Amino acid sequence: MAGKFKDLCLDARDHQAVADWWCSAIGYVRRDSVRGEERPEEWPVPIVDPAGEGPLIWVNPVPEGKVVKNRMHLDVWGDPAEFEALEARVVREKGGDVEWWVMADVEGNEFCVFEL
């Protein structure tokens, strides 16, 4: 075996705000709030599924903004309108040969929404 999956990582200029956005969008919480830890604000923010079912996601601070399409992205179950209400942007609507919505978070990171 060459390796074993550990975590997902997402880069963001405002990693604190993006971590909060994803917590609201998919029901995650900051891992530090669960553990009672405090991390310096400039450190990456780990967010987790409080039910323990989803993977740990690290939201990492980076100095540059997003420029091109993500090479890797998240797929989520949900209602596109609810993501839009959280200020996600529709990149491509479901239809034709595509059975999901392509959306972008508040910093433009693409993700796919599969309706429940």
Who contacts 16 (Cβ-Cβ below 8 Å, separation ≥6)?
Answer: 41, 45
CATH entry 3.10.180.10 includes domain 8-114? yes
> Tens digits of per-residue pLDDT, 37-52?
889 999 999 999 999 9
Domains of the chain, residue spans = 8-114
pTM (2 d.p.): 0.92
> Tens digits of per-residue pLDDT, 49-83?
999 999 999 999 999 988 888 889 999 999 999 99
Who contacts 103 (Cβ-Cβ below 8 Å, separation ≥6)?
Answer: 80, 83, 84, 88, 89, 90, 91, 110, 111, 112, 113
